[in-house]
Amino acid sequence: MRVLVAEDDAELAARLCAVLAEAGFSAEHSADGRDAEFRGATEAFDAAVLDLGLPGLDGIGVLHRWREQGLRLPVLVLTARGRFHDRLAGFNAGADDYLTKPFQLEEVVLRVRALIRRSAGHAHPVLRCGGLVLDLNAGRFALDGAPLSLTAQEARILHYFMHHPGRIIRRGELGEHVYEGGYDPDSNVIDVLLGRIRRKIGPGLLHTHRGQGFRLEAEV
């Protein structure tokens, strides 16, 4: 799952990207409001962490432009402001959640996970597909009750499938939501990773639709 971190404080941005990456996200940084607005509108992100005090275009302006374009990207707003009218302005602009600085980095991870889960229509923090289980709060997979060992890239792909069960997902979409800085459509890395995932989760869950994409769904 790919997250845009729009924060002009370089040290805080680095810490946010590091903790999100450690939690299994692909985190990318933007230090300027205009750059953040453009990237959020033109690239495939699953969530954004947005500071209101960005240079170039402030966070409220970024949010207004995203929502005016119909972008439904879930957004967690960060700000040093703690006054009610500032929080209200953020929500009125289209924010989905709010954190006032200072905050615990781990809370950002929890809130981003919750935003992505809710945006995909999942009310419960535990996702299931047959014997495959993803505990979103812990960020861990299990298969038939036993912990499932996955590489970081395998986990990112399987996260995306678990958030969109039963839907055919094309190879390019997987690449856009898993890889930082873009995806080479001529690469076979997605096919290699899907092959590894199939061997680990067993038959009957991950299905190939030739010429269309792939679908995660338990056979009945």
CATH number for position 155: 1.10.10.10
Q: Which of 6, 12, 108, 115 is nearest to 58 (CA)?
A: 6
Q: Are residues 8 and 109 in the same domain?
A: yes
Would residue 213 be called left, alpha or beta, if left means φ above 0 and alpha means ψ between -120 and 50 degrees? left
Res. 187: pLDDT tops 90: no
Question: Which of 66-80, 127-141, 150-164, 176-190 bottoms out in mean pLDDT, i.e. has the lowest?
Answer: 176-190
Q: Are residues 130 and 106 in the same domain?
A: no
Reported as a pLDDT band with limits 50, 70 and 90, residue 150 is very high
Q: Which of 119, 139, 168 is the last residue of a domain?
A: 119
Q: Are residues 88 and 168 in the same domain?
A: no
Reported as a pLDDT band with limits 50, 70 and 90, residue 190 is confident
Segment 150-177 shows an average pLDDT of: 89
HSE-CB of 67 using CA atoms within 13 angstroms? 15
Question: Which of 6-10, 29-33, 43-47, 216-220 bottoms out in mean pLDDT, i.e. has the lowest?
Answer: 216-220
Tens of pLDDT, residue by residue over 69-126, are 999 999 999 887 666 777 788 888 889 999 988 899 999 999 999 999 888 887 788 9
Q: Which of 92, 119, 146 is the last residue of a domain?
A: 119
Q: Are residues 136 and 196 in the same domain?
A: yes
Calpha distance 79→77 (Å, rounded):
7
Range of the domain at 201: 126-216
Output the pLDDT for position 58: 93
The H-assigned helical ranges of the chain are 10-22, 33-42, 59-68, 84-93, 105-119, 152-163, 171-178, 189-201
Res. 185: pLDDT tops 70: no
Q: Are residues 81 and 107 in the same domain?
A: yes
Output the pLDDT for position 85: 75
Asked if 99 contacts 68 with a C-beta cutoff of 8 angstroms, the reply is: no
Q: Which of 82, 102, 119 is the last residue of a domain?
A: 119
Q: Are residues 96 and 141 in the same domain?
A: no
Output the pLDDT for position 20: 94
Q: Are residues 78 and 185 in the same domain?
A: no
Res. 192: pLDDT tops 80: yes
Q: Are residues 111 and 9 in the same domain?
A: yes
How many structural domains are present in the chain?
A: 2
Res. 21: pLDDT tops 80: yes
Q: Are residues 12 and 85 in the same domain?
A: yes
Reported as a pLDDT band with limits 50, 70 and 90, residue 24 is confident
Reported as a pLDDT band with limits 50, 70 and 90, residue 182 is low
Q: Are residues 111 and 167 in the same domain?
A: no
Question: Which of 3-17, 43-57, 102-116, 121-135 bottoms out in mean pLDDT, i.e. has the lowest?
Answer: 121-135
Q: Are residues 28 and 50 in the same domain?
A: yes
Q: Are residues 37 and 66 in the same domain?
A: yes
Output the pLDDT for position 175: 83
Output the pLDDT for position 86: 74
CATH number at residue 54: 3.40.50.2300
